[in-house]
Chains A and B, each alone.
Chain A
Amino acid sequence: MKKKFWCFVLACVLLVGTLSGCSQSADNSSSADSSIAQSVEESTPEEENSQASEEVAGAPVQDEPVTLIVMKEENASQVIKTDSVKLQYLEELLNIHIDMQAVPAASYEDKKKVLISTDQMPDIMKISPTDLRSYARQDMFVNLTEHKDMLSDFWPIYESVESMAASYEIDGSLYGFPILSRWSERGGQLPVIRTDLLEAYNLEVPTSFEELKEVLTVFKENNPDLVPLTNRKGGSTTSTQKVLDCMAYPLGSGSGMYFDEDIDGGRWVYGPADEHFLYVLSYLNELYEAGLMDPDYATMTVDQWKEKMSSGQALMYFDNAGFASDFNVALETIDPNYHLEAIPTLTNELGQTRNRYFDQHNGSLYVIATSSSNQTPALELMNWAYSEEGCDIFAYGKPGETFDYVDGEPVIRDELLQKFNSPEYNAPYYEIQSYLGVGLLDFTPYVEDHPGVQCRNYSLSDEERAEKEATDEMIANDPGMREPVYEPSLSEEDTERYNELKSTVENIVSQEWDKYIMGLEPIENYRAVIDQARATGAEEMEQIYNNAYKAAQE
Chain B
Amino acid sequence: MAKKKMIGRSWGSRVFSGVNAFFLILIMLITFYPLYYVAITSISNGMLVMQGKVNLYPIGLTLDSYRSIMSDPQLFQSLWNSVVYTVVGTTINLVMSCLCAFPLSRRTFSGKRFFTGMIVFTMFFGGGMIPLYLVIKDLKMMDTIWAVVLPVAINTYNMVIIRTSFQSLPESLFESAQLDGANDFTILFRIAIPLSKAVLATMVLFYAVSHWNSYFNAMLYLDSKEKYPLQIILKNKLISGLFSEEASQTGGSTNFNVSDSTLRSAIIMFTTLPILIVYPFVQKYFVKGVMIGSLKG
Q: Which residues of A contact B (CB under 8 A)?
A: 2, 5, 12-13, 15-16, 19-20, 23, 26, 30, 74-79, 82, 101-107, 110-111, 114, 117-118, 120, 184-185, 187, 233, 235, 302-303, 306-307, 310-311, 313, 320, 322-326, 329-330, 333-334, 358, 362, 426-430, 440-441, 449, 452-453, 455-456, 459
- Determine if B72 is an interface residue (Cβ-Cβ < 8 Å): yes
- Determine if B248 is an interface residue (Cβ-Cβ < 8 Å): yes
- Known interface pairs A114-B133, A114-B220, A307-B51; A107-B247 also in contact (CB < 8 Å): no
Residues of A within 8 A of B84 (CB): 19-20, 23
Interface residues of B in 204-226 (CB under 8 A from A): 215-216, 219-220, 223, 225-226
- Known interface pairs A77-B244, A118-B134, A311-B50; A456-B239 also in contact (CB < 8 Å): no
Contact assessment for A5 and B240 in the assembled complex, using a CB-CB cutoff below 8 Å? no
List the 8 shortest-distance A-B pairs measured between CB atoms, nearest first.
Answer: A429-B252, A322-B251, A76-B240, A104-B236, A311-B51, A427-B254, A107-B219, A77-B247
Contact assessment for A426 and B250 in the assembled complex, using a CB-CB cutoff below 8 Å? no
Contact assessment for A75 and B246 in the assembled complex, using a CB-CB cutoff below 8 Å? yes
Query: B29-37, B104-112, B176-184, B256-264: which one contacts chain A?
Result: B256-264
Contact assessment for B243 and A105 in the assembled complex, using a CB-CB cutoff below 8 Å? yes
The CA-CA distance from A232 to B241 in the complex, in Å, is 12
Contact assessment for B256 and A114 in the assembled complex, using a CB-CB cutoff below 8 Å? no
Given contacts A12-B91, A77-B252, 6 further A-B contacts (CB under 8 A): A107-B219, A118-B133, A302-B242, A307-B51, A323-B248, A427-B255
- Known interface pairs A20-B88, A106-B235; A325-B251 also in contact (CB < 8 Å): yes
Contact assessment for A326 and B253 in the assembled complex, using a CB-CB cutoff below 8 Å? yes
Between A and B, 9 residue pairs with Cβ closer than 8 Å are: A12-B87, A16-B88, A23-B80, A106-B236, A107-B236, A307-B51, A322-B248, A452-B250, A456-B252
Contact assessment for B223 and A101 in the assembled complex, using a CB-CB cutoff below 8 Å? yes
The CA-CA distance from A191 to B61 in the complex, in Å, is 35
Residues of B within 8 A of A19 (CB): 83-84, 87-88
Residue among B137, B197, B244, B247 having the largest count of chain A Cβ atoms under 10 Å: B247
Contact assessment for A107 and B52 in the assembled complex, using a CB-CB cutoff below 8 Å? no
- Determine if B249 is an interface residue (Cβ-Cβ < 8 Å): yes
Partner of A5, one of B81, B194, B256: B194
Residues of B within 8 A of A78 (CB): 247
The CA-CA distance from A199 to B259 in the complex, in Å, is 30
The CA-CA distance from A111 to B72 in the complex, in Å, is 22
Partner of A330, one of B73, B194, B256: B256
Residues of A within 8 A of B248 (CB): 320, 322-323, 326
Residues of A within 8 A of B17 (CB): none
Residues of B within 8 A of A13 (CB): 91
Contact assessment for A322 and B249 in the assembled complex, using a CB-CB cutoff below 8 Å? yes
Interface residues of B in 224-241 (CB under 8 A from A): 225-226, 232-233, 235-241
Partner of B242, one of A79, A235, A430, A441: A235
Residues of A within 8 A of B258 (CB): 426
Contact assessment for B252 and A303 in the assembled complex, using a CB-CB cutoff below 8 Å? no
How many residue pairs, one in A and one in B, have C-beta atoms under 8 Å apart? 166
Partner of A2, one of B129, B194, B237, B238: B194
Contact assessment for A103 and B219 in the assembled complex, using a CB-CB cutoff below 8 Å? yes
Q: How many residues of B are in contact with the other chain, CB < 8 A?
A: 60
Contact assessment for A107 and B245 in the assembled complex, using a CB-CB cutoff below 8 Å? no
The CA-CA distance from A449 to B134 in the complex, in Å, is 41
Residues of B within 8 A of A329 (CB): 253, 256
Partner of A187, one of B137, B240, B249, B256: B249
Residues of A within 8 A of B52 (CB): 307, 311, 313
The CA-CA distance from A82 to B228 in the complex, in Å, is 14
Partner of B250, one of A15, A104, A187, A311: A187
Contact assessment for B241 and A16 in the assembled complex, using a CB-CB cutoff below 8 Å? no
Partner of B235, one of A107, A111, A235, A330: A107
Residues of A within 8 A of B188 (CB): none
Contact assessment for A79 and B72 in the assembled complex, using a CB-CB cutoff below 8 Å? yes
The CA-CA distance from A76 to B243 in the complex, in Å, is 9
The CA-CA distance from A272 to B237 in the complex, in Å, is 35
Contact assessment for A75 and B244 in the assembled complex, using a CB-CB cutoff below 8 Å? yes
The CA-CA distance from A333 to B236 in the complex, in Å, is 29
Chain A proximity of B117: nearest CB distance (Å): 30
Chain A proximity of B189: nearest CB distance (Å): 10
- Known interface pairs A82-B225, A104-B219, A185-B250; A235-B245 also in contact (CB < 8 Å): yes
Residues of A within 8 A of B197 (CB): 5
Residues of A within 8 A of B232 (CB): 104, 107
The CA-CA distance from A76 to B247 in the complex, in Å, is 9
Contact assessment for A104 and B233 in the assembled complex, using a CB-CB cutoff below 8 Å? yes
Chain A proximity of B265: nearest CB distance (Å): 12
Residues of B within 8 A of A117 (CB): 129-130
Residues of A within 8 A of B71 (CB): 426
Contact assessment for B47 and A75 in the assembled complex, using a CB-CB cutoff below 8 Å? no
Contact assessment for A110 and B261 in the assembled complex, using a CB-CB cutoff below 8 Å? no
Nearest-CB residue, chain B, relative to A234? B245
- Determine if B145 is an interface residue (Cβ-Cβ < 8 Å): yes
- Known interface pairs A77-B240, A117-B130; A430-B247 also in contact (CB < 8 Å): yes
The CA-CA distance from A440 to B260 in the complex, in Å, is 21
- Known interface pairs A23-B84, A114-B129, A311-B50; A440-B253 also in contact (CB < 8 Å): no
Residues of A within 8 A of B256 (CB): 329-330, 333
Chain A proximity of B222: nearest CB distance (Å): 10
Residues of A within 8 A of B255 (CB): 426-427
Contact assessment for A74 and B68 in the assembled complex, using a CB-CB cutoff below 8 Å? no
The CA-CA distance from A15 to B242 in the complex, in Å, is 39
The CA-CA distance from A322 to B241 in the complex, in Å, is 15
Chain A proximity of B257: nearest CB distance (Å): 8
Chain A proximity of B69: nearest CB distance (Å): 11
The CA-CA distance from A19 to B80 in the complex, in Å, is 10
Nearest-CB residue, chain B, relative to A26? B80
- Known interface pairs A12-B91, A426-B71, A426-B254; A111-B240 also in contact (CB < 8 Å): no
The CA-CA distance from A230 to B277 in the complex, in Å, is 42
Residues of B within 8 A of A26 (CB): 80
Residue among B134, B197, B216, B245 having the largest count of chain A Cβ atoms under 10 Å: B245
Residues of A within 8 A of B259 (CB): 306
The CA-CA distance from A160 to B261 in the complex, in Å, is 43
